[in-house]
Structure 1
Amino acid sequence: MIDNENNVNEPAEEESFAELFEKSNRRTERLRPGSKVDARVLKIGAEWVFLDIGSKGEGVMERKELLDKDGNLTVAEGDTIPVWFVKVERNEMRFTTKVGTGQAGLSALEDAYRAGIPVEGNVEKEIKGGFEIKVGGTVRAFCPYSQISLRRAANPAEFVGRQLLFKVVEFAERGRNIVLSHRAILEEEERQKREALKDTLKEGTTLTGTVTRLMPFGAFVDIGGVEGLIPISEAGWSRVKEIGDVLSVGEQVTALVKRIDWENNKISLSLRDVQADPWEGIAERFPEGSYHTGTVARLAPFGAFVTLAPGIDGLIHISKLGAGKRIAHPREVLKEGDAVEVTVEGVDRESRRLSLALAATKRAAEEEERSIAEFRGKGAAQTKDSMGTFGDILKAQLDDKK
């Protein structure tokens, strides 16, 4: 009986162990050293933290990794944190948040290099070509200027003294030559944020962002860890000469997503498209024949553009600038920034065009027309009066003959 029972139970036990082993293998197959996952903190013990890594199973990491410099825990049970898979040890999946929280030796850095696990280091000082980084309190490494941030830093000294995460991009000469990159960490974070945005960000969406930097061609805006560009042509309805005239670094802006090119990582934004169209009701605001004062915005060989209101420019053709005389260029009569009075001669709402003329020239022409009309009127009256006098004389002569 006992033998039979054993004979019955043993295969079941062996099968159960095989299943567990197979499951364990399936879990580790999905994770390679250096794989990053989001783990939920299940339990924080005296030395170890137990993690739930979703469908991949459970893992552990050292408790000291979650302590700040004062020895206080930085997370609580139930929190979700990013971790990197290191290896399987004693049938446990070991994870880490970073290498370098303790006295990290060269072997740990070499493992981090091979597995792509980030390391924590302190920026000690500037040296030729970059920075000296100290990892784990003892190991010295080098980070080039080009690898400390996504863009070349205007003030490299601002990084000295900071504790940052780095990727080991070179480990040579048995650790005598270690090169680190903080930029690689930032690029990976940006890539993940971009991937997350792909599901939600669509062309035509209106969003809020922060201006991060200004360039001659436009302004870059942080829209949630990813930058979009407001071209200078999309900065407003008015013609913008310098982007700094309308935007500043740190300013919060509301913009419309104009175009998305995920393949080239380009997101084009527009401020103009979220502003009211100044050409609405243009015929009522600037009817033909009305007079207005504007500012000469720019000169072109064919005429002068005059700004009458924000986003509303009209054109005085060169043929209307010489007061009847032929001129070679509008600069002979006007210069940019001049305040001029103009009259509206034509409105084309569809083409967004206003045809203008100088008010003084228009008034002079109208005055000349009035003078000519008056002269003609007086001439006709005089002719009529003259004919009347001759008729009277002839009538008198006929009366005398009778």
Structure 2
Amino acid sequence: MDENNLTMADFMDEIDKSMVRIRKGDIKEATVVSVEDAGIITNIGTHADAIVSWNEYSYEEVNKEDVQVGDKFDVLVLNTDDGDGNIIVSKRRAESEVALENIEELYKTHAHFTVKVKEVVKGGVIAILQGMRAFIPGSQLTDTYVEDLAQFVGQQVEVEIIEFNAKNKKIVLSGKEIAKAKTAELKKERFNSIVEGEKYTGTVTKLMPYGAFVNIGGVEGLVHNTDLSWTRIKHPSDVVKEGDKLQVTVISIDHEKGKIALRAKDVAMDPWYLETANLEKGQIVKGKVVKMMSFGAFVSLSDNVEGLVHISQITEKRISKPEEALEIGQEVKVKIIQLDKTNKKIGLSMTEVEEEVDPSMMAYMQEDEESISTMGDVLGNAFKDLFK
């Protein structure tokens, strides 16, 4: 067409042809031309302005200062004419449309990714995933029970998609299995770092009739009742309660079963060792018969120490059972013939006492003889004075 022969109608027609045709639902590139209080005015290649309201700019809170003239981004056409000749568009919805394909891929591949928790809603929390709202049920936030969901607001959580519906844009996330796997890995690492025989400070987590479970940095071990106290207890609550800090020693580690046995008692304060400190092999001591067995009798040497008198060491006479020569509660003199402090075993003999007299007992007997002699002299003199 010859430019010299263009009419005004022809000119306007050419302008119209150069303008982009748009329809509702189209995604167009927008260029910011002005930032206003009511929203952002953009140009999408049409004769009319395309307006992005602030709530359609992003799911996140936005500072107006962060949006500059000349910025470019994709928008979704919501309305081709708002009645005032303006086109209404949305940046966040355009991002959502584009994100759907990416999110579907994340869902299919069971990918792990991080999201920021935005707010608490009924039954869980909301996070933003590539510009779209995603729901995380309270029970799926982590691998432990969460009483106050608000503590997660503003926090980053590693999650995966467990439910996705592109049609209604339903996205459900979960961090439970991820957290569970991480906890298990950390527990395994911690378990492998525990050293048998070492001491650790832990926290009592649970009491059972047979003992107390103690957490020592991510792994739990059991302190059996017999290893909680040197005195006999009926229940662990007799000496500890949940939440108590406790210093424990690792007795054994079962890597195959994942079990750790702990002891809370200080070996240095073991009454058995304290009460046997002055005992020696060959020493003659006094004790009390406390228990009879077919193979011998147990004699108590102190509150926490017992020794065994084998049936062959009770008497020179042949007996078929200890009861033929002894009674429960009977006090006896015994000689220590075996003293195994490693295994806490003491062997005693009554027959060898008859062959050997304890020097301390000799001194005792000499004191008694002197006392008797002195008493005799006193009585003799008294009788002499009486019959003068």
Normalising by the residue count of structure 1, what TM-score does the alignment of the two structures yield? Answer: 0.43
Q: Which has the larger radius of gyration?
A: 2
User: Higher helix fraction: Structure 1 or Structure 2?
Assistant: 1
Normalising by the residue count of structure 2, what TM-score does the alignment of the two structures yield? Answer: 0.44
